[in-house]
């Protein structure tokens, strides 16, 4: 049974581009999206925001006179009925209904003005649709020759409601539409020479910073940054391959130092986006782009199904691996108290040697005799010591042969 809650919500965005690698490199720098391969078909590379995949690239060679573009997918609770209604209302089928491995189905259609869009029917519970976060689409805008006729067409297919209108002077009326009381996007008459197309707005924190990143990565800013009715800020840009998209920052999140710019000259004054999201649904397979000029889109959403080629729902983007917090080096334990190193006892200077010089000749005979007696005295003592040492050595053996034990032996005999 198809999930009816997804009807009317933008659930996936597929970039039709001739160079998928270059596109992923650009959007990673400009928006911060990561590249994530679809597990069922690694060649189908997806764009992943913080909460999961929001879209993917599909290699596409533009028709003569057209450019790369973003193809948005809108949810439906009954895909056969939606396709039939589109035909009855003057639309056409670009790619007929096809199925994915999960049982979900998709198709690619074109409205009466030739603007391409996809439809997606989820075979499983799509989950709760929540307000978009950074990196997810928060607004969708349609530039077309007759926005009133366009609204009649899409409202019959998806149940959208007209919610507000803004007078843009020479640029006509900007009509805001939504679903279940929530503003989701706008429609207005495109200016002469501008393509009929869907433009998806990606939620960012600072459009001025995004504009700088787009230029640095090789893209081009074509409108803004500017403030729009309600206080939000927008900027419209084109990627290096020529696909148009936009960025949107809510008033409450805009940096205080943002320089205010008049929105009067804006080709598309996108109104305040209160809500919008796109859940992660399955990939919609590659779709041939209609011969018309590339449409661009603005997208609100939360999860995004992987639309395109393979036949299974794109798994939600794996949450970026969180870097392990740097562990503080544990306090080193005080090493076991080592016995303080004993200082080597200061070597005592050896006693001064007695002078061996003979007394000066000038000394008298008495002095000479006295010195001779002093010399003889120690000599006799040392001789006695030698004898006692010999006696003691016969009875006592010592490791060092030191004088202490040798001196004790004679005492025992007494």
pLDDT in tens for each of the 414 residues of the chain? 688 899 999 999 999 999 999 999 999 999 999 999 998 888 899 999 999 999 999 988 777 767 899 999 999 999 999 999 999 999 999 999 999 988 999 999 999 999 999 999 999 888 888 899 999 999 999 999 999 999 999 999 999 999 999 998 888 999 999 999 999 999 999 887 788 999 999 999 999 999 999 999 999 999 999 999 889 999 999 999 999 999 999 986 655 544 444 433 334 344 333 333 333 333 444 333 333 333 333 333 434 344 333 333 443 333 333 333 334 433 444 444 443 444 444 444 444 444 444 434 444 444 444 444 444 444 334 333 344 334 444 443 433 333 333 334 444 433
Other C-beta atoms lying within 10 Å of the C-beta of residue 193: 5
Checking DSSP bridges between strand 52-59 and strand 10-17, what pairing results, if any? parallel
DSSP string, 362-381: TS-HHHHHHHHHHHHHHHHH
Who's near 272: CB < 8 A, 6+ residues apart? 183, 228, 229, 230, 231, 232, 250, 251
Token representation of residue 368: 């000479």
Residue 50 and residue 205 in contact, taking contact as beta carbons nearer than 8 Å: no
Q: What domains appear along the chain, each with residue ranges and CATH number? A: 4-253 (3.10.180.10)
Residue 183 and residue 176 in contact, taking contact as beta carbons nearer than 8 Å: yes
- Kindly report the pTM of this predicted structure: 0.64
Token representation of residue 385: 């010591």
Start-to-end Cα distance in the chain: 123
């Amino acid at each position: 049974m198809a999930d009816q809650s997804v009807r009317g919500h933008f659930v996936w965005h597929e970039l039709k581009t001739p160079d998928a690698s270059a596109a992923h490199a650009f959007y990673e720098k400009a928006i911060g999206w990561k590249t994530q391969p679809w597990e069922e078909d690694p060649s189908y590379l997806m764009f992943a925001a913080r909460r999961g995949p929001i879209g993917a690239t599909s290699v596409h060679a533009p028709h003569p006179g057209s450019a790369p573009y973003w193809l948005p997918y809108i949810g439906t609770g009954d895909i056969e009925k939606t396709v039939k209604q589109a035909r009855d209302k003057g639309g056409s089928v670009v790619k007929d209904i096809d199925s994915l491995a999960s049982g979900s189905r998709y198709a690619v259609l074109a409205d009466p003005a030739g603007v391409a869009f996809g439809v997606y029917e989820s075979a499983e519970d799509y989950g709760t649709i929540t307000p978009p976060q950074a990196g997810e689409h928060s607004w969708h805008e349609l530039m077309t020759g007759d926005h009133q006729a366009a609204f009649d067409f899409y409202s019959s297919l998806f149940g959208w409601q007209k919610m507000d209108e803004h007078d843009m002077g020479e640029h006509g009326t900007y009509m805001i539409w939504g679903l279940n009381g929530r503003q989701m996007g706008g429609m207005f008459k495109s200016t002469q020479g501008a393509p009929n197309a869907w433009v998806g707005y990606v939620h960012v924190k600072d459009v001025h910073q995004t504009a700088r990143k787009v230029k640095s990565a090789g893209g081009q800013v074509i409108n803004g940054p500017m403030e729009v009715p309600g206080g939000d800020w927008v900027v419209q840009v084109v990627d290096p391959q020529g696909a148009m998209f936009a960025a949107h920052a809510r008033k409450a999140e805009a940096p205080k130092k943002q320089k205010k710019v008049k929105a009067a000259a804006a080709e598309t004054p996108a109104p305040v986006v209160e809500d919008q999201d796109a859940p992660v649904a399955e990939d919609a397979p590659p779709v041939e782009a209609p011969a018309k000029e590339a449409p661009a889109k603005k997208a609100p959403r939360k999860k995004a199904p992987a639309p395109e080629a393979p036949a299974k729902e794109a798994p939600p983007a794996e949450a970026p691996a969180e870097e392990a917090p740097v562990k503080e080096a544990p306090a080193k334990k005080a090493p076991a108290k080592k016995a303080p190193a004993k200082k080597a006892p200061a070597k005592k200077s050896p006693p001064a040697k007695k002078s061996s010089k003979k007394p000066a000749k000038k000394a008298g005979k008495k002095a000479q005799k006295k010195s001779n007696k002093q010399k003889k005295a120690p000599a006799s003592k040392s001789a006695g010591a030698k004898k006692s040492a010999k006696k003691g050595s016969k009875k006592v053996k010592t490791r060092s042969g030191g004088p202490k034990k040798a001196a004790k032996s004679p005492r025992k005999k007494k």
